[in-house]
Chains A and B, each alone.
Chain A
Amino acid sequence: MGTSPESVDVLLSLQGITKCFGAVEALVDVDLQVRSHEVVAVVGDNAAGKSTLAKIVAGVLSPDAGVVELGGHPVVLPNPAAARAQGVEMVFQDLALCDNLDVTSNLFLGRELRGPFGRDDARMEEIAVQVLDSLASRIPSARTPLRELSAGQRQAVAIARTLIGQPRVVVLDEPTAALSIPQTAEVLIHVQRLRDLGLGVVFISHSMTDVLAVADRVEVLRHGRNHGSFDTATTSQEELIGAMTGARVAPRRLQVV
């Protein structure tokens, strides 16, 4: 891992995170750090603990041991609303969207704006349009019912939703898993835009290509433990897969020029 001087803000820091489900050790003593303007990919085989780690960051699960720090301060995240309040947003694997509601309603789900008599629908719609534009989403109208959108557009809504709360850290759990190449292109561009906005992004994926395309650093998990940290500028797909599966791979010497 490259040196990380104090001048760069560490937005999220996990130290010694352990989580067990009964006898199953999902995570054991896991560390993770995410800085501003940084995309950290978390990779590993099935049951490596990636989703569990993401859920702990998002407040869906609580760790059995370990410390979660946001902006340098230890925090407790008992539920997703608390995580959101602390500036952590998550895009879940199944997107967590309601098909029977429209785009604006989904963007503000759980944090609707209130006016003098009930909801402030007008203001929510204004903000929705702004957020969708800022990500250059290809969604013509914020009133479209979600069930009429394509998979890529739904993904765009799920990502756009993370910007409503003006977060510091965004966690994406398998965002490109079910997408075509053009849809993947849009999602990866969105991830880059989140990074350009100064957020820290945790990118969980099993697609090595997507990870190497968009991440700055890759953290490998294996059987719930840290198993290597790699700089995407210098690592290779072979090296990452080697770390994921535990096979020994001679480090590749690639001149950075």
Chain B
Amino acid sequence: MVRKAPGSQSSLRAANKALVLQTVQRWGGLTQIELAAATGLSPASVSTIVRDLFAAGVVETATTTRNGRRAQLVTVSRRMGLAVGIQFGRRHVHVVLADFALHPIAEHTLPLPFEHRVDTGLDRATVLMADLLERVGASFDDVAGVGVAVPAPVEAGTGSISVAGVMPGWDGVDIAQTLSKRTGRPVYVDNDANVGALAESALGAGRQVRDVVYVRASYGVSAGVVVSGNVHRGYAGVAGEIGHVMVDPQGRMCRCGNRGCLDTVAGGAALAESVRPVLGSLTLTDVVRRAGDGEPACARVVADAGAQVGAVVAVVAMVVNPQVVVVGGELAETGEVFLGPLRERIGHRVVGNSVAPLEIVPAELGSRAEVMGAMLLALQATEVSVPVSPETAVEVV
């Protein structure tokens, strides 16, 4: 609740207007009665303010029903249409509804079991999408396109995962077509690091350069490579799968079929496993939180992971010669604990050039890079021009 500043009638009115708009933005869509309850203003005042905001084109209204009675639903104005971004993680799905400027309007996050299956995942994503649309008073037809990010390499032609075993239960399915059938909208699927790279290079840390490598360090490690302003996917969409670069010939078996992959050494699950003898059963989130708090065992494994990822990224950097390396994913949330060793290792292994030193920076869009990249993917495919501004990433809740 915002404290209203004392003062003249007009400043009070302006403050009330701002409060109403803020509240609608915060909640995505509210009826006028709910707005009154949430802001402390009378229903008559809310009605007047909504009328003004509607006239200014800032909000939209729709008639809906609540508890069996007619109500006026108030939502933030949608410039031209909506985009939906869906990000599947190993243990969750994140669905975001945004306007064409990529301002998030409403979102849902649903925890899922490890090894969740494709039909379960897509079903639930569809239901969540429908709920978000209902919440803001829109329908499926208002959605220009749906972008989906998955933690596995995707082949553009078939729309399915191109390396078996990385996401068991998702192999051999045309994800885009399946979801498109359920939602009736165009669906575009890509690897999460690729769309993360897309988002960071269009809107985030890489927006002023044309050659970027985006590294996503999470349960698995993967990279998105942007060359001359375009995401390079490769023949089967496997470009950037640095998590499956072999770093230890005698190492553990990886789900991709090889052994000693970077994932088995520096992936989130591997880190949790390393600390188990000392700290018991932890999740990746726990390890990240504790490393950030300075807990020695977790900080050590995260730092070592940083160095190992750095070694592989250094080779990528030598091949691609990006101007910036952007680092995202859960492990990057530990800040310098992960980034320090990563930067140092890259620094030692990349040859300096006389034009500009290689910059290694944290992702600006943070944990939202993948889902915003997914939306960007969908909008670009439907040829909608996205107004780009540095303030694009707005927190919803």
Contact = CB atoms under 8 A, between A and B. Distances in A.
Contact flag (A, B; Cβ within 8 A): yes
Nearest to B220: A257
B278 interface: yes
Contacts of B111: 185, 188-189, 192, 213-214
Interface in A221-241: 231-233, 236-237
B269 A257 contact: yes
A257 B114 contact: no
B228 interface: no
Interface string B24-56: 000100100011011000000000000000000
B264 A181 contact: no
B67 A148 contact: yes
B386 interface: no
A181 B124 contact: yes
Interface string A3-19: 11101100000000000
A212 B279 CA distance: 21
Contacts of B115: 236, 254
Contacts of B246: none
A256 B273 contact: yes
A181 B286 contact: no
B127 A2 contact: no
B37 A140 contact: yes
B269 A140 contact: no
Contacts of B124: 181
A182 B107 CA distance: 10
A129 interface: yes
B114 A232 contact: yes
Contacts of B113: 208-209, 212-213, 232, 237
B254 interface: yes
Contact of A233 (B30, B131, B254, B269): B269
A148 B36 CA distance: 15
Contacts of B92: 213
B348 interface: no
Contacts of B267: 257
Nearest to A147: B67
B185 interface: no
A144 interface: yes
Contacts of B131: 180-182
A103 to B, nearest CB: 10
A208 B270 CA distance: 25
A182 B286 contact: no
B361 interface: no
B108 A140 contact: no
- Using C-beta atoms within 8 Å of the partner chain, give the interface range for chain B: 35 or more
A231 B281 contact: yes
A136 interface: yes
B319 interface: no
A143 interface: yes
Contacts of B272: 233
Contact of B280 (A5, A129, A181, A233): A5
B279 A181 contact: no
Contacts of A257: 252-255, 261, 263-264, 267, 269-270
A168 interface: no
Nearest to A213: B111
A2 B273 contact: no
B314 to A, nearest CB: 23
A141 B264 CA distance: 48
A37 interface: yes
B281 A2 contact: yes
A138 interface: yes
Interface string B376-397: 0000000000000000000001
A231 B110 CA distance: 20
A212 B117 CA distance: 13
Interface in A165-193: 180-182, 184-185, 188-189, 192
B109 interface: yes
Interface of A: 2-5, 7-8, 35, 37, 129, 136, 138, 140-141, 143-144, 148, 180-182, 184-185, 188-189, 192, 196, 208-209, 212-214, 216-217, 231-233, 236-237, 254-257
Interface of B: 1, 23, 27, 30, 34-35, 37-38, 67, 91-92, 108-116, 120, 124, 127-128, 131, 252-255, 261, 263-264, 267, 269-270, 272-273, 276-281, 283, 285-286, 289, 397
Given A255-B254, A257-B264, A257-B269, 13 more contacts: A5-B278, A138-B27, A140-B38, A141-B37, A143-B37, A181-B124, A181-B128, A185-B109, A209-B112, A213-B91, A256-B273, A257-B252, A257-B253
22 contacts: A2-B280, A5-B280, A7-B279, A8-B279, A140-B27, A140-B30, A180-B127, A181-B110, A181-B124, A181-B127, A182-B127, A189-B109, A189-B111, A192-B111, A209-B116, A212-B114, A213-B91, A231-B281, A232-B113, A233-B272, A257-B255, A257-B261
Closest 10 CB pairs of A and B: A212-B113, A140-B38, A141-B37, A2-B281, A182-B131, A185-B110, A213-B111, A181-B127, A188-B111, A257-B264
